[in-house]
A and B are shown apart, each in its own frame.
Chain A
Amino acid sequence: MNVKELPISRQGIVPLLIAIEAMVLLPLWFYIPSWISALTVALLLGKYVMYRKGITPLRWVLLIVVLLCVGGVFLQFKTLNGRDAGIGLIALMYTFKLLEARSYRDASLILFISFFIVVTAFFYSEAIWMGLYLLVAVLSILLGLVALNSPQGVQGLGSVGKISGVTLLQAIPIMVLLFFFFPRSSTPLWSMPTDTQAGSGIDDTMSPGSIGALHTFDDIAFRVDFEGEVPPRSEMYWRGLVLSEFDGFTWFKEEHSPIRQELELPMTSTYQYRVQMEPNNRNWIFGLEDLAEAPDGAYLFSDFTWNRRRQTTKRFIYSAQAYDIDFSQRQLTDLQSERYLQLPSNSNSDTREWAQEQRSNHQSDEAFTRWILSYIHQNQYSYTLTPAVIEVDTIDGFWFDTQEGFCEHYAGAFVYIMRSAGIPARVVTGYQGAEYNPYGDYYIVRQSDAHAWTEVWLEGVGWRRIDPTAAIHPSRVEEGLRSDASSRDGWLEEFGSDVGFDTPNGLFQNLALRWDAIQNFWSETVMGYSQDMQFNWLRKLGIERHQYRYLGYGLLATILLAGLVFGYFVLRGAQKLEPVTKHYLRLLKKLQKHEIPCDRTMGPRDVLQLTRHTSQKVYSRAAPALKTYIAMRYQEQAVDSELLKRFKQQVAKV
Chain B
Amino acid sequence: MNSPILPVLEQLNKVLLGKPFQVKLAVVCLLAKGHLLIEDLPGMGKTTLGQAMAKVFGLDFQRIQFTSDILPADIVGANIFDREKSAFEFHPGPVFSQLVLADEINRATPKAQSALLEAMEEQQVTVEGTTYELPNPFFVIATQNPTHQIGTYPLPESQLDRFLFKINLGYPDPALEKVLLKGESGRTKMPSLQSLLDLETLQGLQRTVSELTVTEHLLQYVMDLIQATRQSPDFAHGLSPRAGLAVVSAAKAWAFVDGRDYVLPEDIQQVFVASARHRLQSVKTSSASTIELIEELIKNVPVPA
Chain A residues engaging chain B, CB cutoff 8 angstroms? 1, 581, 584-585, 588, 599-606, 630, 633-636
Partner of B217, one of A601, A602, A633: A633
8 A Cβ contacts from B214-240 to A: 215, 217-218, 231
Q: Verify B215–A630 contact, CB threshold 8 A.
A: no
Q: Verify A601–B301 contact, CB threshold 8 A.
A: yes
Q: Verify B215–A601 contact, CB threshold 8 A.
A: no
A residues less than 8 Å from B263 (CB atoms): 634
Interchain residue pairs with CB less than 8 A apart (18) = A1-B231, A584-B305, A601-B298, A601-B302, A601-B303, A603-B265, A603-B303, A604-B264, A605-B264, A605-B266, A630-B264, A633-B218, A634-B217, A634-B218, A634-B263, A635-B262, A636-B215, A636-B262
A residues less than 8 Å from B218 (CB atoms): 633-634
Q: How far is the CA of A636 from the CA of B303 in the complex (A)?
A: 17
**Given A633-B217, A634-B213, A634-B215: A600 and B302 interface contact (C-beta under 8 Å):** yes
A residues less than 8 Å from B301 (CB atoms): 601
Determine if B130 is an interface residue (Cβ-Cβ < 8 Å): no
Listed residue (A1, A602, A603, A630) with the most chain B CB atoms within 10 angstroms of its CB: A603
Q: How far is the CA of A178 from the CA of B266 in the complex (A)?
A: 53
Q: How far is the CB of A383 from chain B (nearest CB, A)?
A: 84
Q: How far is the CA of A635 from the CA of B269 in the complex (A)?
A: 18
Q: Verify A603–B269 contact, CB threshold 8 A.
A: yes
Q: Verify B298–A634 contact, CB threshold 8 A.
A: no
Q: How far is the CB of A458 from chain B (nearest CB, A)?
A: 96
Number of interface residues of B (CB under 8 A): 20
Q: How far is the CA of A599 from the CA of B263 in the complex (A)?
A: 20
A residues less than 8 Å from B148 (CB atoms): none
Measured CB to CB, the nearest residue on chain A to B266 is A603
Determine if B300 is an interface residue (Cβ-Cβ < 8 Å): yes
Determine if B182 is an interface residue (Cβ-Cβ < 8 Å): no
Determine if B299 is an interface residue (Cβ-Cβ < 8 Å): yes
Q: Verify A604–B265 contact, CB threshold 8 A.
A: yes
Q: Verify B213–A635 contact, CB threshold 8 A.
A: yes
Say what secondary structure dominates the interface of chain A: helix
Q: How far is the CA of A120 from the CA of B215 in the complex (A)?
A: 58
A residues less than 8 Å from B231 (CB atoms): 1
B residues less than 8 Å from A605 (CB atoms): 264, 266
Given A599-B302, A600-B303, 15 more A-B residue pairs with CB atoms under 8 Å apart are A581-B304, A588-B305, A600-B305, A601-B298, A603-B303, A604-B303, A605-B264, A605-B266, A606-B266, A633-B215, A634-B215, A634-B218, A634-B264, A635-B215, A636-B213
B residues less than 8 Å from A601 (CB atoms): 298-303
Q: How far is the CA of A630 from the CA of B261 in the complex (A)?
A: 12
Q: How far is the CA of A604 from the CA of B218 in the complex (A)?
A: 12
Q: How far is the CA of A585 from the CA of B304 in the complex (A)?
A: 10
**Given A601-B298, A634-B217: A581 and B264 interface contact (C-beta under 8 Å):** no
B residues less than 8 Å from A630 (CB atoms): 264
8 A Cβ contacts from B284-305 to A: 298-305
A residues less than 8 Å from B269 (CB atoms): 603
Q: How far is the CA of A539 from the CA of B218 in the complex (A)?
A: 61
Q: How far is the CA of A636 from the CA of B264 in the complex (A)?
A: 12
A residues less than 8 Å from B299 (CB atoms): 601
Q: Verify A603–B264 contact, CB threshold 8 A.
A: yes
Listed residue (B263, B268, B305) with the most chain A CB atoms within 10 angstroms of its CB: B305
Q: Verify B262–A602 contact, CB threshold 8 A.
A: no
**Given A601-B299, A633-B217: A585 and B265 interface contact (C-beta under 8 Å):** no
A residues less than 8 Å from B302 (CB atoms): 599-601
Listed residue (B266, B299, B300, B301) with the most chain A CB atoms within 10 angstroms of its CB: B266
A residues less than 8 Å from B213 (CB atoms): 634-636
Q: How far is the CB of B188 from chain A (nearest CB, A)?
A: 36
Q: How far is the CA of A98 from the CA of B302 in the complex (A)?
A: 39
Q: How far is the CA of A606 from the CA of B264 in the complex (A)?
A: 10
Which 4 residue pairs spanning A and B have beta carbons closest together?
Answer: A603-B265, A600-B302, A603-B266, A581-B305
B residues less than 8 Å from A1 (CB atoms): 231
Q: How far is the CA of A635 from the CA of B263 in the complex (A)?
A: 8
B residues less than 8 Å from A635 (CB atoms): 213, 215, 262
Q: How far is the CB of A626 from chain B (nearest CB, A)?
A: 11
Partner of A634, one of B262, B300, B305: B262
B residues less than 8 Å from A599 (CB atoms): 302
Q: How far is the CB of A449 from chain B (nearest CB, A)?
A: 71
Q: Verify B264–A602 contact, CB threshold 8 A.
A: no
Q: How far is the CA of A584 from the CA of B269 in the complex (A)?
A: 20
Q: How far is the CB of B271 from chain A (nearest CB, A)?
A: 13
B residues less than 8 Å from A585 (CB atoms): 305
**Given A634-B264, A636-B262: A602 and B215 interface contact (C-beta under 8 Å):** no
Measured CB to CB, the nearest residue on chain A to B270 is A603
Q: How far is the CA of A588 from the CA of B263 in the complex (A)?
A: 21
A residues less than 8 Å from B265 (CB atoms): 603-604, 634
A residues less than 8 Å from B264 (CB atoms): 603-605, 630, 634
Q: How far is the CA of A635 from the CA of B305 in the complex (A)?
A: 14
Q: How far is the CA of A390 from the CA of B264 in the complex (A)?
A: 108
A residues less than 8 Å from B300 (CB atoms): 601
Measured CB to CB, the nearest residue on chain B to A580 is B305
Q: How far is the CA of A630 from the CA of B255 in the complex (A)?
A: 14
Task: Convert B256-276 into 0s and 1s, putting 1 for each residue whose CB lies closer than 8 angstroms to a CB of A.
Answer: 000000111110110000000
Q: How far is the CB of A104 from chain B (nearest CB, A)?
A: 16
A residues less than 8 Å from B266 (CB atoms): 603, 605-606
Q: How far is the CB of B272 from chain A (nearest CB, A)?
A: 12
Q: How far is the CB of A69 from chain B (nearest CB, A)?
A: 39
Q: How far is the CA of A634 from the CA of B300 in the complex (A)?
A: 21
Q: How far is the CB of B301 from chain A (nearest CB, A)?
A: 6
Q: How far is the CA of A605 from the CA of B262 in the complex (A)?
A: 12
B residues less than 8 Å from A606 (CB atoms): 266
Measured CB to CB, the nearest residue on chain A to B214 is A634
Q: How far is the CA of A599 from the CA of B300 in the complex (A)?
A: 10
Measured CB to CB, the nearest residue on chain A to B268 is A603
Q: How far is the CA of A606 from the CA of B266 in the complex (A)?
A: 7
Measured CB to CB, the nearest residue on chain B to A600 is B302
Q: How far is the CB of B276 from chain A (nearest CB, A)?
A: 16
A residues less than 8 Å from B298 (CB atoms): 601
Q: How far is the CA of A604 from the CA of B305 in the complex (A)?
A: 9
Q: How far is the CA of A599 from the CA of B305 in the complex (A)?
A: 11
Measured CB to CB, the nearest residue on chain A to B269 is A603
Measured CB to CB, the nearest residue on chain A to B261 is A635
Q: How far is the CB of B251 from chain A (nearest CB, A)?
A: 11
B residues less than 8 Å from A634 (CB atoms): 213, 215, 217-218, 262-265
A residues less than 8 Å from B268 (CB atoms): 603
Q: How far is the CB of B234 from chain A (nearest CB, A)?
A: 14
Q: How far is the CB of A602 from chain B (nearest CB, A)?
A: 7
Q: How far is the CB of A644 from chain B (nearest CB, A)?
A: 15
Measured CB to CB, the nearest residue on chain A to B233 is A5
Q: How far is the CA of A635 from the CA of B213 in the complex (A)?
A: 7
Q: How far is the CB of A4 from chain B (nearest CB, A)?
A: 13
Q: How far is the CB of A346 from chain B (nearest CB, A)?
A: 97
Q: How far is the CA of A602 from the CA of B264 in the complex (A)?
A: 11
Measured CB to CB, the nearest residue on chain B to A609 is B266
Q: How far is the CA of A606 from the CA of B221 in the complex (A)?
A: 15
Q: How far is the CA of A603 from the CA of B268 in the complex (A)?
A: 9
Q: How far is the CB of B248 from chain A (nearest CB, A)?
A: 13
8 A Cβ contacts from B199-222 to A: 213, 215, 217-218
Q: How far is the CA of A602 from the CA of B215 in the complex (A)?
A: 17
Q: How far is the CB of A271 from chain B (nearest CB, A)?
A: 75
Q: How far is the CB of A530 from chain B (nearest CB, A)?
A: 54
B residues less than 8 Å from A602 (CB atoms): 303
A residues less than 8 Å from B305 (CB atoms): 581, 584-585, 588, 600
Q: How far is the CB of A596 from chain B (nearest CB, A)?
A: 16
Q: How far is the CB of B258 from chain A (nearest CB, A)?
A: 9
Q: How far is the CB of A7 from chain B (nearest CB, A)?
A: 13
Q: How far is the CA of A28 from the CA of B246 in the complex (A)?
A: 62
Q: How far is the CB of A14 from chain B (nearest CB, A)?
A: 23
Q: How far is the CA of A633 from the CA of B216 in the complex (A)?
A: 8
A residues less than 8 Å from B215 (CB atoms): 633-636
B residues less than 8 Å from A588 (CB atoms): 305
Q: How far is the CA of A600 from the CA of B301 in the complex (A)?
A: 8
